[in-house]
Amino acid sequence: MTPPNRNPRHRTPRQHPPARGGNPTRRAALALLSAVLDRHRPLEEALDALPPSDPRDRAAAHRIAAAVLRRLGSLDAVLEPLLRREPPPEVRQALRIGAAELLLLATPPHAAVASCVDLVPRPFAGLVNAVLRKVATDGPQALEELDGERLDTPGWLWTAWHKSYGPAVRAIARAHRQPAPLDLSLKPGTALPEGAVLLPTGTARLPAGTRITELPVFAEGNAWAQDAAAALPARLLAARPGEAVADLCAAPGGKTAQLAAAGARVVAVERDPLRILRLRENLARLGLDASVVQGDATTWDPGTRFDAILLDAPCSATGTMRRHPDVPFLKRPTDVPTLARLQQPLLAHAASLLAPGGRLVFATCSLQAEEGEAQAAAAPAGLRPDPIRPEEVPGLEAAITPEGWLRTRPDLWAEQGGMDGFFIARFRAG
């Protein structure tokens, strides 16, 4: 998948009269796509930067932008035969929005076409109108004939996943094309929210598109958003009441909340001051207590040792593409070895903070073997493997590797809505 700003036909556009305005939802969607594809800003950051607007308009704009990002290769392949030359970036984004609404989101053709025509400068209104009308009539068949899994997955990721997972690469790519459900972690004793399904590992799952802020369980401070796979590292650490536990690289705080809710004495370590603010806000909303420390997890030393440590290391986040479809446009192949080189010293330092016999869980939300299996295989000599047992991960027994590690993938639990790609390994000191 070629990023739009690297299209060899792209030229700096001439100045044209401004667009006529357009529907606020589509304007916001265009702003989001421009931020991700042209300026390489994270989608959530771009969403936060939008001017104040109705929450439903923002949610709808996010839905449209996410649909475009998930299926960008396929949408461009449908549009390509209908364009004689590369349009300016804002026109290209408007065409993508229109194509996504017509082919993926079931928007009535007249509404999709008219709203996108209003997004572009006047000289391009006729082009957008003609192209999208053609998409409305011929696009469904054209989309059906494409190899969407390949087109919607960057080549470097497809190659890496095929090497690691073989034919399952197609199922992984297929899972990335669907919106993820809303997963919740609940405080102990909290009743299952209305309409939720309880997954075998204890996560509450609600349908994709559910607005978490409208759930009573969220407003009451009894739940937080956390993918089913993301909840597993803390579950497998199995913190006990009163234990001294460190959560390294802790923001935004979902795993810290799990450990604190289990009754552990938690120290949450985070380097980024802005992310610390979010961590504190999340803990305050939940009414959970943890000692939050700003520090570099590769060097931080409190002068004491811990019964258990959770290290969810910084990584390429390629396992989270179901929820973050901007990831393929923000990451490059060179990012993976760079991040892998940072993970090994983090793991080594975390091991040095363990008390004798203490437990350590290492995790990454990446599908790349360099950031998971390779790191566990090169664990410091002071750590001995503590294999994950089938009864600890009900329903995911097949995800346990021969080494006793856990490798989740987006195509697992496909009928229930999938899960993020995570690697998890557990060790003991000594």
Query: Token pair for residue 275?
Result: 């992310």
254 is in an annotated binding site: yes
- CA diameter of the chain: 72
Q: Is the CB of residue 360 less than 8 Å from the CB of residue 427?
A: yes
116 catalytic per annotation: no
Query: 155: part of which helix (H) or strand (E)?
Result: helix 155-165
187 is in an annotated binding site: no
Question: For residues 211 and 126, what is the distance between their CA atoms, to the nearest angstrom?
Answer: 37
Judged on CB neighbours under 10 Å (0-12, 13-18, 19+), 15 is exposed
Catalytic site residue from 365, 383, 388, 396: 365
Q: Is the CB of residue 302 less than 8 Å from the CB of residue 239?
A: no
252 is in an annotated binding site: yes
Q: Is the CB of residue 50 less than 8 Å from the CB of residue 88?
A: no
- Bridge partners of 248, per DSSP, are 269, 311
DSSP codes joined into one string, 49-108:
TSPS--HHHHHHHHHHHHHHHHTHHHHHHHHGGG-SSPPPHHHHHHHHHHHHHHHTS---
Burial profile 33-56: b = 16 or more Cβ within 10 angstroms, e = fewer = bbbbbbeebebeebbeebeeeeee
Nearest in space to 361 (alpha carbons), one of 383, 331, 335, 333? 383
Type of residue at 350? A
Residue 325, preceding bond cis, omega within 30 degrees? no
Q: Is the CB of residue 288 less than 8 Å from the CB of residue 276?
A: no
116 is in an annotated binding site: no
315 is in an annotated binding site: no
411 is in an annotated binding site: no
Question: For residues 71 and 148, what is the distance between their CA atoms, to the nearest angstrom?
Answer: 8
In whole angstroms, how far apart are CA 280 and each of 128, 131, 284, 327?
47, 49, 6, 26
In whole angstroms, how far apart are CA 68 and each of 7, 92, 152, 161, 177?
17, 12, 10, 22, 10
In whole angstroms, how far apart are CA 426 and each of 160, 229, 230?
24, 15, 15
250 is in an annotated binding site: yes
270 is in an annotated binding site: yes
188 is in an annotated binding site: no
Nearest in space to 47 (alpha carbons), one of 72, 19, 66? 66
Residues tagged active-site: 365
Annotated binding site for S-adenosyl-L-methionine: 249-255, 270, 296, 312
Annotated binding site: 249-255, 270, 296, 312
